[in-house]
Homo-oligomer: A and B are copies of this chain.
Amino acid sequence: MLGPGDDAAVLSAPDGRVVVSTDVLIEGRHFRRDWSSGYDVGRKAAAQNLSDVAAMGATPTSIVVGLGIPADLPLTWLDELTDGFVDECATVGASVAGGDVTRCDLVVIGVTALGDLGGRAPVTRSGARPGHVVAVTGRLGYAAAGWALLEAGVPVDSPALREAVAGHRRPCPPYAMGPLAAELGASAMLDVSDGFLQDVGHIAEAAGVRVELDPRAFTVAEPVAAAAKELGADPLEWVLSGGEDHALAATFPPDVRLPASWQVVGRVVEGEGVLVYGREIGRRGWDHFR
C-alpha cells in the first residue's frame, strides 16, 4: 500500500492478523561471498523467512530488509542482492516493502517477512497427537550435499553435482504447500532449517509426544546421491540431518488424504523424543545422531 521511501511501509493485512518472522544472516557464517553471488544470497535470505511464514500456514506478502555493508562492497553485489530479494519474493507474489542500509565491517542481512493467513488458523508446532502421521514436502539433503562439495573443493562437473551446489546456494522451498497443509488440517508444521531430525524434535517436544521415523520412507534425490558417491559419504545423513533446504515437515490426523507431493515418513505415538533406526535421537537432535 505504501512502500520504500518513508519512515515505515504500510502493508495490507486483510485477515486482521499478520504473520511475522525475522532472521539475521551473517557473512562467513550463513554465506560466503566467494561461494555465493549476491543474487544467490538475496534469494536465500528471502527464502528462509518466506518459508517460516509459509510454515505457519500463511501466504507470504512482503519482506523488509535491514542491511549492514562494508564500504568496499561492490555496488554490483548489492544490486544483485536486491534482485535476489525481489525475485524470490516474486515466486510467491510477495514484494520488498522497505529497508535500511548502514555501514558494517562485514555483510549483515536482516530480513523480516510478513504473511496473511487468509482466515485460516495458524499451524503451530504443538498440535501433534498420537496416531497422527508425520509427512514432509520439499527438498532434503541438497544444501548439506552442496556445502560438502564446495568444502571439499572437488570438481563440480556433472549436472547432478551442479544441482546439489545450486541447492546450497539457493533453496527452493515448497511455499504453496504451507497454506495447503493448513487447509488440509495439519496439526503441527515447521520448516526444516536446522535438519529434519532436529526440527521434528521440536514438534515432539512442543506436544509432549514421540515421533517414530521410518528411514526407508525418505527419498534420496539424485543430486544428493551423486554428491555422496563423489565424497564417499552417507546420503541419508544429509537427508536426515542437513539443514537449509527449507522443506516443510508437518503432522496430520490419520484420516487426511495427502497430495502426492507430501511423503509420509513416520508417525506420532505416546512418549517423547524422536526414534529412528530404533535409536532415540533425544533433545540434542542431530548432534547425538552424528
Contacts and interface: CB of A to CB of B under 8 A. Distances in A.
Interface string A151-172: 0000000000000000000000
A117 interface: yes
Given A13-B18, A125-B6, A102 B56 contact: no
A129 to B, nearest CB: 17
Contacts of A284: none
A203 to B, nearest CB: 11
A8 B64 contact: no
Interface string A1-42: 110011111111111111111111110011000000000000
A10 B19 contact: yes
A98 to B, nearest CB: 7
A100 interface: yes
A188 to B, nearest CB: 10
Interface stretch (A105-113, A232-240, A270-278): A105-113
A20 B10 CA distance: 6
A26 B117 contact: no
A169 B190 CA distance: 39
A124 B98 CA distance: 14
B26 A103 contact: yes
A52 interface: yes
A149 interface: no
Contact of A122 (B10, B16, B122): B10
Interface stretch (A65-73, A86-94, A211-219, A254-262): A65-73
A55 interface: yes
Contact of A2 (B11, B115, B124): B124
Of all A-B residue pairs in the complex, the 10 with the closest CB atoms, nearest first, are A110-B110, A8-B21, A13-B13, A24-B66, A112-B112, A7-B52, A7-B55, A22-B64, A13-B18, A66-B110
Given A7-B21, A12-B17, A24-B67, 12 more contacts: A6-B125, A9-B21, A10-B56, A13-B13, A13-B15, A20-B97, A22-B66, A23-B66, A24-B104, A26-B108, A110-B110, A112-B112
30 contacts: A2-B122, A5-B125, A6-B56, A6-B190, A7-B21, A7-B52, A7-B55, A7-B190, A7-B191, A8-B19, A8-B55, A8-B56, A8-B58, A10-B56, A11-B19, A11-B20, A12-B16, A12-B17, A13-B17, A20-B98, A21-B98, A22-B65, A22-B99, A24-B67, A24-B68, A24-B100, A24-B102, A26-B103, A29-B103, A112-B112
